[in-house]
């Protein structure tokens, strides 16, 4: 119920007990996996889950295996008390917040690897990332066995990887993608936005503006290679310190697209770029197709 404190469990037997009770009562379960530091993007997933499922279960776990050495694991924003309040206000029934040992037991030696979708874009610059995500999300889905699990389209490549993994491993949850939530100036909400200095924050919306303009050029028939070059130059000119990639790809397979015409399969423009040490990612559809 909105406002009442959700139960917080940290160990697997307690999690399984709660879920078994819901199952006995024939309740549908919506899972919202998070790494905490919740913002309106996460909360939109919780709202969506609450509309479609009888019980919402949110997880908070900063997953070490999706960070490479030297990335921001230690500094990753954490605010469990604040997260609990936000989840309570939306009527979340249960929060699962295991420690590292409760997630990865002694001798843990398994990695879930999704081929194909992961050998491009973020998979090239962060080769450890999708193995870490696919493994922890597989574990969360198997531990909770939800009817539906909710992920943001800001991490669009992650969403497709998780969908592929769940289908390939016969995990019966529906993987639901929810639209990107943006600040008023267009910046996609992300926990990592908290790292931005005031001057970097002022530049950051140029990421969305640039890929939105690139999507429009593509929809108008411009060659993708030329548009990608334009967008990368534009990001550098607008103050991004390093452009990791700009790509225009098929929205389902993530295969590269050379050009796009109305009636072609949906495509999206993807970008990752640095402002100082902070890496931002974003994506938009080439033309509205949802």
Least distance from C-beta 152 to ligand PAF, angstroms? Answer: 7
Backbone φ and ψ of 6, nearest 5°: -70, 155
The CB-of-27 to ligand PAF minimum distance in angstroms stands at 23
49-68 residues near ligand PAF, rule: CB under 6 A:
63, 66
Tell me: does residue 44 bind ligand PAF (CB under 6 A).
no
Binding residue (CB under 6 A) for ligand PAF from 30, 33, 41, 98: 33
Q: Give the span between the Cα atoms of 140 and 147, in whole angstroms.
A: 13
Residue 144 touching ligand PAF (CB under 6 A): no
Q: Which stretch binds ligand PAF (CB under 6 A): 13-21, 33-41, 219-227, 249-257?
A: 33-41
d(CA 287, CA 267): 8
Nearer to ligand PAF, 9 or 133 (CB): 133
The token duo for 13 is 């037997």
To the query of whether residue 42 is one of the catalytic residues in this protein, the response is yes
Locate 268 and state its tokens. 């999206």
Q: Which position among 15, 35, 41, 42 bears the catalytic label? A: 42
Per-residue contact flags (x/-) with ligand PAF for residues 78 to 117, judged by CB under 6 A: ----------------------------------------
- Residue from the set 50, 87, 114, 137 that interacts with ligand PAF by CB under 6 A: 137
Q: Is 256 exposed, middle or buried (CB count within 10 Å of its CB: 0-12, 13-18, 19+)?
A: middle
Which alpha helices (DSSP H) does the chain contain, by range? 12-24, 40-52, 80-89, 100-103, 122-125, 129-144, 156-168, 198-203, 206-219, 224-238
Q: With binding defined as CB under 6 A, does residue 35 bind ligand PAF?
A: yes
What distance in Å separates the CA atoms of residue 283 and residue 107, rounded to the nearest whole number?
38
Q: Which is nearer to ligand PAF, 131 or 217 (CB)?
A: 131
- Give, in order, the Cα–Cα distances in Å from 138 to each of 20, 143, 237, 256: 19, 8, 41, 27
The DSSP bridge partners found for residue 285 are 268
Tokens representing residue 194 in the block: 């908290």
- Tokens 């009442």, residue located: 4
Whichever of 75 and 197 has its CB closer to ligand PAF, that residue is 75
CB of 64 to ligand PAF, least distance (A): 10
Residue 136 engages ligand PAF in binding (rule: CB under 6 A):
yes
Nearer to ligand PAF, 178 or 273 (CB): 178
In residues, how long is the chain? 290
How many residues bind ligand PAF (CB under 6 A)? The answer is: 10
CB 204 within 8 A of CB 280: yes
Q: Which residues are catalytic?
A: 42
| Binding residues for ligand PAF (CB under 6 A) | 33-35, 63, 66, 133, 136-137, 155, 158
């Amino acid at each position: 119920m909105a406002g009442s404190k959700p139960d917080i469990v940290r160990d697997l037997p307690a999690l399984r007990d709660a879920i078994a009770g819901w199952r006995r009562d024939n309740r549908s379960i919506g899972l919202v996996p998070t790494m905490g530091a919740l913002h309106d993007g996460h909360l939109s997933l919780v709202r969506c889950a609450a509309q479609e499922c009888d019980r919402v279960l949110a997880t908070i776990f900063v997953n070490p295996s999706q960070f490479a050495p030297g990335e921001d694991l230690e500094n990753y924003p954490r605010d469990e008390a604040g997260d609990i309040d936000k989840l309570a206000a939306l009527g979340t029934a249960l929060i699962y917040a295991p420690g590292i040992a409760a997630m990865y037991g002694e001798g843990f030696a398994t990695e879930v690897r999704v081929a194909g979708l992961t050998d491009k874009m973020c998979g090239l610059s962060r080769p450890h990332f999708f193995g870490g995500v696919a493994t922890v999300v597989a574990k969360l889905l198997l531990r909770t066995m939800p009817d539906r699990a909710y992920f943001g389209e800001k991490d669009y490549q992650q969403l497709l990887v998780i969908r592929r993994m769940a289908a390939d491993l016969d995990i019966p949850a529906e993987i639901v993608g929810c639209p990107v939530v943006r600040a008023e100036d267009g910046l996609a909400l992300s926990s990592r936005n908290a790292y931005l200095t005031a001057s970097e924050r002022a530049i950051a919306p140029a990421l969305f503006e640039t890929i939105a303009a690139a999507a429009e050029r593509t929809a108008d028939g411009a060659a993708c290679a030329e548009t990608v070059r334009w967008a990368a130059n534009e990001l550098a000119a607008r103050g991004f310190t390093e452009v990791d990639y700009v790509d225009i790809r098929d929205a389902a397979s993530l295969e590269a697209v050379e050009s796009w015409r109305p009636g072609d399969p949906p495509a999206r423009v993807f970008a990752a770029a640095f402002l100082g040490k902070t890496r931002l990612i974003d994506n938009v559809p080439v033309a509205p197709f949802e």
